[in-house]
Amino acid sequence: MGGAIIKTGIIILCRYDSKRLPGKILMSIKGNEVAKYIYDRLETTNIDNSNIIFATSTETSDDKIEDFCERNSYQCFRGDKNDVAGRILDCAKHFNFDKFIRICGDNIFTDKEIINSMHKISQNGNYDLVSNTLKRTFPFGASVEILNTSFYNKIYEEIKNPYDKEHVTSYIYKNMYRYNVYIYLSNRKEYHGVHLALDTKHDLDIITKIINSFEKDHTEYDLQSIVKIYYSITENS
């Protein structure tokens, strides 16, 4: 981009009426909503805080998410319920993001060092996508994907399958040979099989126990520390 400042945003994809655990994005744990935990941790990254956006749908049920954002002075974007690919692209274009970092609304323990490291790779290399999910070496719930908006805008018209529209990057994974993708890996064996994503009531119980065990502010715990607590809880339960 010839030395121009590259504007990167963080887009948190979330819905209120999630199928397995409805309302999870606004569930309260130790006095704070799940969405607030996610935002607080993303706020510690190197990304400009004014570029953190909650992207939900235009469904009436998601009015609750917009109300939450308004109460907390967070930015909210609303788009298509099922065409999540279109929603995230429209959000990125609306805020003039050159790149966007995709975070799922069930990833309560996002890690600033992972995001900062992946963002640096994305800034320094000519990558269409930087991802730590294609080869799973990080825990579920620590997923990060960084996309070039112009690239995604270009391929969006090719995405026809409803599954690919719902899952944002699945189309890219199916056509890897066509694109420049950087797969970000961890060499920590203890991450294998760890599930920190908030998908079920069981996950909520584990995450609640993790947060209740914190003696400092939750943003001071990195992924490695959280995984240690996860093992101490799951091995004793």
Query: What pLDDT digit, counting tens, does each position of 2-57 carry?
Result: 567 899 999 999 999 988 899 999 999 999 999 999 999 999 999 999 999 999 99
Residue ranges of the chain whose pLDDT lies below 50: 1
List, in order of start, the domains of the chain with CATH numbers: 8-235 (3.90.550.10)
> Are the beta carbons of 69 and 104 closer than 8 angstroms?
no
Going by C-alpha positions, the residue among 14, 18, 17, 28 that lies closest to residue 204 is 28
Give dist(CA 117, CA 122) in Å, integer: 9
Q: Give the pLDDT score at 1.
A: 43
Residue with tokens 């959000």: 91
Tell me the pTM.
Answer: 0.96
Q: Give the pLDDT score at 39.
A: 98
